[in-house]
Structure 1
Amino acid sequence: MDNLNPSKLGTKQHWDDVYETELTNFRDNGDEGEIWFGVQAVDKMVKWALDNAPPSPKTLEVGSGNGTLLFALAEAGYDPHSLFGIDYSPGAVQLARAIATESNYQDITFSECDFLSQDPPQTEWDLILDKGTFDAIALAEKDADGGSPVAKYPPRVARLLKPGAMFLITSCNFTEDELKTAFQAAGLVYHSRIQHRTITFGGKSGSQCSSVAFSKSFSDASLDKSSHVS
């Protein structure tokens, strides 16, 4: 996970600028902004949730951006009161709240929160979702010791999941095997994968992105005691 070069996509300033622009566009002309990874990826994640998660689980999206994935879950029948989105960019939170009001989904909660250094509004979740946030964090600058901030992410996810709960991540920077290595090292158990459209280039075939689901073992209560914010 340390082999990616730092990029502006890993900086808070970049996302603050992006969402400031998208918020202005929404207020001026109703444009809800970019759908990260596209509509098809959102639809596949929603279908996976419907097939594998309990009815209206307490759901957290890490890096919820404009809220597209949570709105899609609400449209699919999930109770909006059970849906929570966090983002470290205040503009993203303002945009998601504005769209929620316009779409009559005000009961979905959007909060400003830096996942690596702050706890979300609640501490135990039935389902945690990530659509590109792990990717962005992996592009952040290394710390003073040369470590990548993304290393903090898997154990924090593991701590916030209830025993038996699920985590679904979609990534374009990491393969399925790389995601398994990262999250199984944090104590999570591989559950399933989503098949995405494959492309062929140079005689090799692969998916444009990877979606992998993990569960938290009922017996691994020790995960709840790790990775607390000091």
Structure 2
Amino acid sequence: MNRPRPTRLAAFLSLGLGLALGIPGAAANDLRFSATLEKGDLADCGLPRLSSDQVAVIDALVRRDTLARGGTAAPAKDRVAAAVFSQRLTADERRTAGLTLLSPAESARLDAAVERYQNARLARTLLAPPTFVSPRPNLVPTERKKEREIHGSFSLSYGIGSGGYSEKSGSMTLQYENPEKGFAVSVGYTETHTKGGVPYYLTRDPLRP
């Protein structure tokens, strides 16, 4: 029984998923390789004879290969030795990208265009000025000197009673604090005014006979 061969769509999806997992998100904002080629260069490389899906796969492979050759996102152990672009791809990647449809001359011109693109990218990376992060200043705790303070309170009261009795009272309290010399002084004043009422000594004791 013959096993069904995977469709071209499945191959594209498989390769695209592998490239998406292997390329950092920052690389998605880079200019695509095919977009940097002039119309004449596209024709010399044979890209107009390929489908848009195949050109997109070539762009993704070039981006991954550029990172592997010297991009900051690729570790040193993953950098490959000097070789042309098409020779660094697997047979499945070349077939999915449509490179097997190109003539030897077109394939050679494509490799040369990829080499120029990658050299320009790597040169911009090396010439980019370094980014320095200024150190965060250390926080130095400071103790605030306590100043002299004055606190106070005021109160008023009013009361009434039988026999026309009424009482008005007011009080004031001030407190002065001097932390520098270590002392505090409190001053209080109270004044009460009464009116009417019967003197207490004239009040009849209800318990007396």
TM-score, normalisation: structure 1: 0.20
Structure with greater helix share of residues? 2
Q: Is the radius of gyration larger for structure 1 or structure 2?
A: 2
Which has the higher relative contact order, 1 or 2, with Cα contacts under 8 A spaced 6 or more apart?
Answer: 1
